[in-house]
Chain A
Amino acid sequence: MGDNPSRSGNHTAGDLDVTPRHARGAGSGVSPSSHEEPPIGGGGALPKKSRFSMETGFRGLSTSAGAMVLVIIVAIAIFLISKAVPAIQADHENFLTYNRWSPNEATPAFGIAVLALGTVLTSIIALVVAVPIAIGIALFLSHYAPRRLATPLGFVIDLLAAVPSVVFGLWGRDLFQEPVRDFSVWLNHYFGWIPIFGGDGPFGQSLMLGGLVLAIMVLPIVTSLSREVFQQTPGMNEEAALALGATKWEMIRTAVLPYGKPGVIAAVMLGLGRALGETIALALTLGITWEISFNLIQTGGNSIAANIANSFNEANDTGRGALIASGLVLFAITLIVNMTARAIIYRRREFRDSAA
């Protein structure tokens, strides 16, 4: 895709870089005393290429910037592991399955199970709710809305991404909780036979509330990235579909959605990254309990990041190590999700690369 222009851009940059040197070298080689400007193409002997040019300088700069990423990642991993391992060794219960968090006692006992489950469940709710809506909005903005409406609406959605998460948290806790509670009661009444909607209450500060608040938070990022890739669909492919007798929706299904799929997956991954790592909004909206439960609507739930925020102040050395260990688990979850997404994109790679 963007390969050719950027490559030719490089060529031009190289040429521009060489030409003045070339001219200067030729001038000084032939007639050092002459004040006459040599032609820009050089007139005399071919000058030697210089050993230290802007070219090598830029290459060094960009290489070190690339290497920096690796160094930082490795440094973070080493930090997390070195703090986490002693704490996990001090743990008197199974770190992966135990459902309490008491790392500050004389006999520390803590486990990640409830936290990891809460993190994953709220993120799943967020994506299940947000992604279809986001794709719908993105398609509306890119293909249905008149430009006069699309531009301001896109701006408003980008603005939604700028709202601080603590504001979402407070809003979710104080205002959004009521409708979600009513909705939960309704779900419980009609779909209570499904375990995730079962239970006898109380309802309200639940995984559902946290997940829905997260959904609103990931909506803008998924929307604006998806809109961006949908807009990049080559016009000639859209016309090809229309000329085959496609309706607008069929054209979108044939040309726009398949073309945008890798981009949408990347957008969803970024949204998921935000959902998994979200701290304060969940700390404010979840019920913070320590029961392992798949129930989405009963008051309860907890998440890794929210727990770190809630427990860090009163943590001793082992406590901090335990929290860092939970951070390591979050890191691992994010990594697995990202690698899966990359694998999905990679599978159809040849179809992307040949689509120059």
Chain B
Amino acid sequence: MAKRIEASNVSSYYGSFKAIDNVSMTVEPKTITALIGPSGCGKSTFLRSINRMHEVLPNARIEGRLTIDDQNIYDPDVDITAVRRMIGMVFQRPNPFPTMSIYENAVAGLKLNGVKKKSLLDDAAEKSLRSANLWDEVKDRLDRPGAGLSGGQQQRLCIARTIAVEPQVVLMDEPCSALDPISTLAIEDLMFKLKDRFTIIIVTHNMQQAARVSDKTGFFSIDKTGEPGRLIEYDDTQKIFSNPSQKKTEDYITGRFG
């Protein structure tokens, strides 16, 4: 169910602007990896490069090599939609489809992939909503609009929608930044639970969150605006937060950055 992600010498561009420079890291299956760093340092760009959402923007491209279990994600013969099914993504702001009910949102990915049988969809909806710790809160109103839920519930609905297609890897781009502390805690609990089944990579601005949930942490930084972001240090979370080997990392996590 979970696969290894390997990046070697990845640089991402927006047109002629280089957003990240020469990032290499290996993410092991069934682990949680946190990417931290100041705004604009390219951690979201790197995340979006992994499931090829980066190239949705015009003129965006990458150099280097990204693989999932040794298969090249950027192989020209690879079906992009298959990559994205295999590597799911949860966004910064909860984005359930506004015209769909809770149920329809949960199974949207399956429907896109041609699953039509009602019983299969029903099972998948319940399973994914249960996995997202949302089932008990919504089981009596599955036909209500997904956008009518609270922010935290919406984000869990988006997680349910993502894991309903049974991806190998789940990318989360600051999933809690629009949520209150209680909802954040609910998502963090959920991440621990999902770790048994998925490889999770999360971008976060919240260093306590990175320290709480992740096994490994990557610290990105930029020298100044206009320069590409770089991966400064990538190591066990424990080590990054107790005894980082780079001065920049230490400055950032102790709040002495800039």
Residues on A lying within 8 angstroms of B by beta carbon are: 234, 236-237, 239-247, 250, 254-255, 258-259, 261, 348, 350-352, 354-356
Not counting A242-B84, A355-B145, a sample of 13 additional A-B residue pairs whose C-beta atoms are within 8 angstroms of each other reads A236-B93, A236-B95, A240-B158, A243-B53, A243-B162, A244-B108, A246-B112, A259-B97, A350-B144, A351-B101, A351-B147, A354-B98, A355-B147
Whether the Cβ atoms of B113 and A245 lie closer than 8 Å is yes
Whether the Cβ atoms of A250 and B99 lie closer than 8 Å is no
Q: B93 — which chain A residues lie within 8 A by C-beta?
A: 236
Q: Which B19-34 residues have C-beta < 8 A from chain A?
A: none
24 contacts between A and B (CB under 8 A): A236-B93, A236-B95, A237-B98, A239-B56, A240-B96, A241-B108, A243-B51, A243-B162, A244-B112, A245-B81, A245-B109, A250-B112, A254-B108, A254-B112, A255-B97, A258-B97, A258-B99, A259-B99, A354-B98, A354-B147, A354-B148, A355-B99, A355-B145, A356-B147
Q: Point out the residue from B82, B88, B101 that lies within 8 Å of A243, measured CB to CB.
A: B88
Question: How many whole Å from A168's CB to the nearest CB in chain B?
Answer: 36
Docked pose: A242 CA to B89 CA in angstroms:
10
Proximity bits, B145-159, A CB within 8 Å = 1, else 0: 101100000000010
Whether the Cβ atoms of B148 and A240 lie closer than 8 Å is no
Q: B95 — which chain A residues lie within 8 A by C-beta?
A: 234, 236-237, 239-240
> Who on chain B is nearest to A351 by CB?
B145
Question: How many whole Å from B104's CB to the nearest CB in chain A?
Answer: 10
Q: Point out the residue from A237, A239, A255, A354 that lies within 8 Å of B53, measured CB to CB.
A: A239
Docked pose: A114 CA to B217 CA in angstroms:
77
Q: B101 — which chain A residues lie within 8 A by C-beta?
A: 351
Whether the Cβ atoms of A354 and B145 lie closer than 8 Å is yes
Whether the Cβ atoms of B113 and A258 lie closer than 8 Å is no
Q: A242 — which chain B residues lie within 8 A by C-beta?
A: 53, 56, 84
Question: How many whole Å from B140's CB to the nearest CB in chain A?
Answer: 16
Q: A245 — which chain B residues lie within 8 A by C-beta?
A: 81-82, 84-85, 109, 112-113, 165
Docked pose: A239 CA to B52 CA in angstroms:
11
